[in-house]
Amino acid sequence: MSLQNFIESLDGLLDEAKSSLDTVASNEQLEALRVKFVGAKNGAIKAVQKLMGAIESEHRPAAGKKFNEVRDAIQSLLDTATDRLGGGTKTSNEPSVDPTLPGVRPVLGQLHPITQTIEHLKEIMGRLGFNVTEGPEIEDTWHNFVALNIPEDHPARDPLDNFYLATAKKQAQNPSDRDAMLLRSQTSTVQIRVMETQPLPLRIISLGRVYRPDAPDATHFPMFHQMEGLWVDKNVTMAQLKSVLRLFATSYLGSDVRVRFRPSFFPFTEPSVEVDYWWNGNWIEFGGAGMVDPNVFQALGIDSEKWSGFAFGLGVERLCMRRFGIVDIRDLYRSDVRFLRQFAS
Ligand code: FA5
């Protein structure tokens, strides 16, 4: 092949590339042209390169130079077309997106209503001087029952009413087994842990999950949260307990909330009460409370002649439901974002 013919075919190829790449209108067409001109297997450039072998050796340097020029020129035409269609590094000032289109609003997460409630309760109780403490969700029977004055034969310890851990299977046969572990059934366990470790006087709350094999219904769930409160000092009275709970209820549920105390029984308080609020024509129980039983102080080596205290345990879900107007506790745990999103913090 003569040098002249080789140069002519290269010029022809460049002309063809120019006219098609200057007007290419879509990325699909551009891709087809890229394959056509510079495709590694059957591209036109490749085909012309193969012809170089047939050129007389004295003309080969000139042919190689021309080949390189045309190959680079076609590549730069491809780059320009790519930029123009918005596919590559931008070289023109033309925006590749339409800035006048409305933006896509990012979906923001938010705190679960129960988490919001917990934060709110901590804030209210903090203002009343209660410090926040924590305790483990997996407990031994000493903290969950024995130290709380719940005797071995008490129905509250029944394996059917608790989530004993598999390691404690033998508990079913022997409820007095002190090594048995369970998912705590109440946050009152934290009362014991705090009095074991912190100096008196003390004023604490503890918020966390508790577990009971209760059948789910509108107001019961097998996992729920409680807020435990404990105030131990000299001369703590039932009147103070009632004032604190009333203050708490009006701060959290509004000044018009109606609260009532019903005489009740808990092994670890004496006297004991159950605490209800009025909602939608019914009294709803939201917690239990009472004066710390001297037996509890004694189990911990605390002088019950010198120290007195009150304790309370409130259901966090029921407080949250009342505040947000949620009528079925199960809705809180269906993980339906459309439902949960309604309760923005
Ligand atoms: C107790 O758990 C006592 N530890 C409370 C206490 C603490 C009394 C300190 C005295 C001194 P009770 O089992 O009643 O008490 O539960 C307290 C609250 O937890 C209930 O009023 C209710 O609001 C909530 N609750 C109980 N069971 C469930 C459940 N399955 N689902 C949702 N909330 C529940």
Q: Nearest C-alpha to atom 15 of ligand 1 is from which residue?
A: 288
The model's confidence at residue 88, banded by pLDDT at 50, 70 and 90, is low
Ligand 1 neighbour 308 (Cβ under 6 A): no
**Residue 212 alpha carbon, nearest atom of ligand 1:** 30
| Residue 97: predicted pLDDT | 79
Task: Give pLDDT, residue 177.
Answer: 62
Per DSSP, the residues of 79-109 read HHHHHHTTSSS--SS--SS-TTSPPPPPPPP
Q: Ligand 1: distance of its center to the CA of 46 in Å? A: 81
pLDDT of residue 216: 97
Test site for ligand 1: of 224, 244, 261, 296, most ligand atoms within 8 A of the Cβ: 224
Instruction: Please indicate whether residue 310, judged by its CB atom, sits closer than 6 Å to ligand 1.
Output: no
Ligand 1 atom closest to 318 (CA): 23
With cut-offs at 50, 70 and 90, classify the pLDDT of residue 280: confident
**Is residue 268 helix, strand or coil?**
coil
Q: Which of 137, 134, 145, 255 is nearest to 206 (CA)?
A: 134
Distance 289 CA to ligand 1 centre (A): 9
In whole angstroms, what is the distance from residue 339 CA to residue 330 CA?
11
Q: Does the CB atom of residue 311 touch ligand 1 within 6 A?
A: yes
Inter-residue contact 330 to 221 (CB < 8 Å): yes
CA of 274 to the centre of ligand 1 (A): 9
Give pLDDT, residue 290: 98
- pLDDT, residue 92, reads 54
Task: Transcribe 210-238 into DSSP letters.
Answer: EE--PPP-SS--SEEEEEEEEEEETT--H
pLDDT at 89 over 60: no
Q: Give the highest mean pLDDT range of 90-99, 143-152, 176-185.
A: 143-152
Residue 169 has pLDDT above 60, yes or no: no
Q: How far apart are CA 80 and CA 134, in angstroms?
A: 65
**162 CA from centroid of ligand 1 (Å):** 14
- Determine how many CB atoms are found less than 10 A away from the CB of residue 265: 12
Give the pLDDT confidence score for residue 117 in this predicted structure: 97
212 lines ligand 1 (CB under 6 A): yes
pLDDT for res 152: 85
What angle (nearest 5°) sits at the alpha carbon of residue 210, between those of residues 116 and 303?
105
**What's the predicted TM-score (pTM) here?**
0.73
In short, whether 188's Cβ falls inside 6 Å of ligand 1 is: yes
Give 29-83 pLDDT, tens digit per residue. 999 999 999 998 889 998 888 888 889 889 999 999 999 999 999 999 999 999 8
| Residue 175 pLDDT | 54
Mean pLDDT of the 257-263 span? 96
Beta strands in the chain (DSSP E): 131-133, 138-140, 163-164, 181-183, 202-211, 223-233, 259-266, 269-279, 282-292, 308-315
Instruction: Say whether pLDDT at 94 is over 70.
Output: no
What's the CA gap between 286 and 248, in Å, rounded? 12
- For ligand 1, whether the C-beta of 231 sits within 6 Å is no
288 CA → ligand 1 middle, Å = 6
Nearest CA to ligand 1 atom 2: 186
What are the structural domains of the chain? 3-84 (no CATH), 113-343 (3.30.930.10)
Give 195-249 pLDDT, tens digit per residue.
999 999 999 999 999 999 999 999 999 999 999 999 999 999 999 999 999 999 9
pLDDT at residue 6, rounded to an integer: 92
Contact 62, 49 (CB under 8 A): no
